[in-house]
Amino acid sequence: MNDVWSWDFTFDRTTNGTPLKWFSIIDEYTRENLCLKVGRSMTSEDVIDSLAEIISKRGVPNHIRSDNGPEFVAKSIQNWLEKLEIQTMYIKPGSPWENGYAESFNSRFRDEFLSTEEFESVRSARRMTKNWRTDYNEYRPHSSLGYRTPNQFALEQRSAPAQQTRTVSSPFTATAASSIVQAEATAKTNETQHNSIKVPKNQTQLTQSKPS
């Protein structure tokens, strides 16, 4: 835990065409979604504020992996991360597979949420996003975690002896990331036997699925 976090952006629009931008942070080991915020725009200052909020509750990660987007390579962010001794792990341009965990989460997020819901406003998008994030962290079993939820798996790791804590190798190779994406895709297919029925368009109440 807290070895490598991945952060990324996902985009969509409201029903009247207003752009929406989601900012997400994932713990690569526990698969926990540590942050999932949405707004019309997101600046480097917003990224720092979100990261500071998480660190105040969870602690400082060793590394953060991301693409070379302007929000992530901004001097203000690099200086802030340097002060906390957080090492940045930027993937090569045009190589999203090197950010395998974030790409896997983004794919799940788009398939299960963005593709099934419509957002009338930023406020409604925030409310629905909060519900989906709770469902993902607390009720969705992941086959890659032994059919435990991310929160459940993280709790077990916090209770385990220190020597059992996994350390993610660095640097993260493209081959390893590609294998993770493929494994996550297979896991996602298997989880359809354990998870909720797909939510219809316009339905704002998410169906929570729990392991049988």
> Residue 73 and residue 35: Cα distance in Å, rounded?
19
Find where tokens 């997101």 sit: 42
Residue 65's φ and ψ, nearest 5 degrees, are: -105, 140
Distances (CA, A) of 104 to 64, 76, 100: 16, 28, 6
pLDDT tens digits, 40-78: 999 889 999 999 999 999 999 999 999 888 889 999 999
- 136 by Cβ neighbours in 10 Å (0-12 / 13-18 / 19+) ranks as buried
Domains of the chain: residue spans and CATH: 4-191 (3.30.420.10)
Exposed e or buried b per residue across 193-210, where buried means at least 16 C-beta atoms within 10 angstroms of its C-beta: eebeeebeeeeeebeebe
Instruction: Enter the pTM of the model.
Output: 0.74
Find where tokens 């359809």 sit: 192
Q: Which helix (H) or strand (E) holds 38?
A: strand 33-39
pLDDT score of 116: 96
